[in-house]
A and B are shown apart, each in its own frame.
Chain A
Amino acid sequence: TQLLEQSPQFLSIQEGENLTVYCNSSSVFSSLQWYRQEPGEGPVLLVTVVTGGEVKKLKRLTFQFGDARKDSSLHITAAQPGDTGLYLCAGHPNAGNMLTFGGGTRLMVKP
């Protein structure tokens, strides 16, 4: 089983602060995705990264895929209360068709 470890598990910050969430594995993934899940809803796909070293930006969110395709990070600039939620990373292993999900980072942004 290929595991994805997310850190931190919990993060509580004030509005306007910056933060970074990490997703690490000892295994190589052919692609990696980030999802955000709001309370009472299903996860929603934010981004897919497929190339080692790739950086993608989505407004105030910056996603990076590690050069070796074993890790990823999500950086949020000037966090807002609307960013509150559970952030999940998920990777497609090189073999197989199934996503492996990390345990998630629960973010709370206080006004």
Chain B
Amino acid sequence: DVKVTQSSRYLVKRTGEKVFLECVQDMDHENMFWYRQDPGLGLRLIYFSYDVKMKEKGDIPEGYSVSREKKERFSLILESASTNQTSMYLCASSFQGRYYGYTFGSGTRLTVV
């Protein structure tokens, strides 16, 4: 069964901590994405990557960075966590092309206290 695996389902971190969210896919997808999902705001794209070592900013990149050293792994980094980064974080992957859907992970619910 193909899947996108996010390293943690729930995380609680303190303000100012550096936080790493890991995502691994086993489908040989070129594209990988990080979204955050908040009530009333829908899915918002943070960063995406269309190839190893390539990254593009999404709609809300401030306060985040990413790393893609291997095709199957895409990491989201919160450089200095803040309470307004409390959210559900979703990783997704897809083949390149306009007719392919995204496969999402189960999400990481991050709480920053």
Contact = CB atoms under 8 A, between A and B. Distances in A.
Interface of A: 30-31, 33, 35, 40-45, 48, 50, 88, 90, 92, 97-99, 101-104
Nearest to B101: A45
Given A41-B107, A42-B92, A99 B102 contact: yes
A48 B101 contact: yes
Contacts of A31: 98-99
B102 A45 contact: yes
A97 B98 contact: yes
Interface stretch (B42-50, B63-71, B76-84): B42-50
Interface string B74-113: 0000000000000000101000111111111111010000
Interface of B: 4, 31, 42-43, 45, 48, 50, 90, 92, 96-107, 109
A105 to B, nearest CB: 11
Contacts of A101: 42-43
B50 A97 contact: yes
B42 A104 contact: yes
A48 B99 contact: yes
Contacts of B97: 97
A99 B4 CA distance: 18
A90 B35 CA distance: 14
A90 to B, nearest CB: 8
B103 A92 contact: no
B42 A103 contact: yes
A44 B104 contact: yes
A41 B104 CA distance: 9
Nearest to B10: A40
Contacts of B102: 35, 43, 45, 90, 99
Given A42-B4, A48-B99, 17 more contacts: A30-B99, A31-B98, A35-B101, A40-B109, A42-B90, A42-B104, A42-B106, A42-B107, A43-B90, A48-B100, A48-B101, A50-B99, A97-B31, A97-B96, A97-B98, A99-B102, A101-B42
